[in-house]
Each structure stands twice: as structure tokens, then as C-alpha cells.
Amino acid sequence: MRAKITYLVTAAVLVFYFVLAGSRGVWLLEEGTWITVTLGVAVLILPVIGIWFLWANTRFVARANRLATELEAEGGLPVDELVRSPGGRVDRDSADAVFARRKEETEDAPDDWRCWFRLAVAYQDARDTPRARKAMQRAIALHDRKPARA
């Protein structure tokens, strides 16, 4: 829940920034000189990119959460079997061992979104966020391509 609140607050601050920057960009366009118009266009590009980025990330998180909910209903969420330090940090050897199992499981069933989801969790536990994101994107793509159940 704390992560959701943090995400919503951050998104709200970003939207406020986008509106503020956009209004300054429009103001520069209204000035009408070639310098202010050029700067106004440049300033307006930033909120457009930011809105796209925020939308893409929000969509990704919503789709990943939908997969997690479905996997939880099936009883297929990965069990947290990682060894942790007294401070709560994941033991690297433990994360590597779990990752090796998840990778092997995914290699055995490369078209199963559930395996890719669990692999993404293992990548995240191993602190490899870029690969975790790619694995989750693959899980989402596989899930969305599956035929509808009768």
C-alpha cells in the first residue's frame, strides 16, 4: 500500500509540473518572437514526453498487477524462500539459487507467462531491474496473446 501511495503522490507532482511547464510553453508561444516560439516549442516537448512516460509506466504496473492477481488466484505466486540478513537485505547466494531455478523453469516452458512472471520476480530479487522489467513485459505479452477461455 505504501508503494501505491508513493506512486500516486509522485504522479500527482509530475502532472502538476507538466501543467506548469505546459503553461509556460504556451506563454512563450504567445509572445510571438522566433526565440520565444522556439523555446516555447522546446518547453512543450518536455511535458509531452513526461506524460507519455508516466502513462506507459502506469499501464505497465497495472498490467503486471493484473497478472499477479490472476497468478495469486491460481496459487502460482512464487513463495519467498530467500535468505535475508538481519537488516532485511536479500542474501546474494540465495537470490542466485532461486534465479537459477526460475531460469531453468522458464527455459523448459518458454511460452508460459507464469514462468516469465516468476523469472521477473527472481530478477528483481537479484537486483537486476532492467531484466526484471523485460521478463515482465514478456509475461504480459504472452498472457495477452493467450486464447480466451470458454
pLDDT in tens, 39-78: 999 999 999 999 999 999 999 999 999 999 999 999 888 8
pLDDT at 24 over 90: yes
Q: Which residues share a beta bridge with 90?
A: 84
Range of lowest pLDDT (23-32, 58-67, 82-91, 133-142): 82-91
Q: Which residues share a beta bridge with 84?
A: 90
Question: Cell numbers of 18, please?
Answer: 507538466
Cα(86)–Cα(88) distance, rounded to whole angstroms? 5
What distances in angstroms separate CA 36 from CA 9, 18, 21, 33, 125, one per listed residue? 32, 19, 14, 5, 48
The predicted model gives 113-140 an average pLDDT of 92
